């Protein structure tokens, strides 16, 4: 069973970037037409990836803890 709870801390809002409605003002303030232009202006070509990363979606806290416990059982003990 998967549990998902909303936490009042609003971690996602504080750490996952601007809301879609905030992006136009941010770009205008910084003098860029789109997020690609902004990214190109601040990320050196030597580390810029040309393809998207295959990153899984977010997990709830209980899902993350379950996954971490599974990883811990597979890790050698020091």
CB 51 within 8 A of CB 39: no
Residue 55 has a pLDDT of 92
Q: Which residue has the tokens 């379950």?
A: 66
Residue 8 has a pLDDT of 60
Residue 50 has a pLDDT of 83
Separation between Cα atoms, residue 21 and residue 36, nearest integer Å = 17
Digitized pLDDT (tens) for each residue of the chain, 78 residues in all: 555 666 565 666 666 778 899 999 999 999 999 999 999 999 999 998 888 899 998 888 899 999 999 999 987 776
Cα–Cα distance list, 26 to 8, 18, 21, 36, 48 (Å): 26, 9, 10, 13, 22
């Amino acid at each position: 069973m998967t549990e998902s709870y909303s936490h009042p801390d609003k971690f996602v809002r504080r750490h996952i970037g601007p809301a879609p409605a905030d992006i136009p003002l941010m770009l205008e303030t910084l003098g860029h037409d789109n997020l690609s232009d902004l990214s190109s202006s601040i990320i050196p070509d030597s580390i810029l990836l040309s393809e998207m990363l295959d990153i899984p979606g977010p997990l709830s806290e209980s899902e993350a803890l379950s996954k971490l416990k599974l990883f811990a059982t597979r890790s050698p003990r020091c």
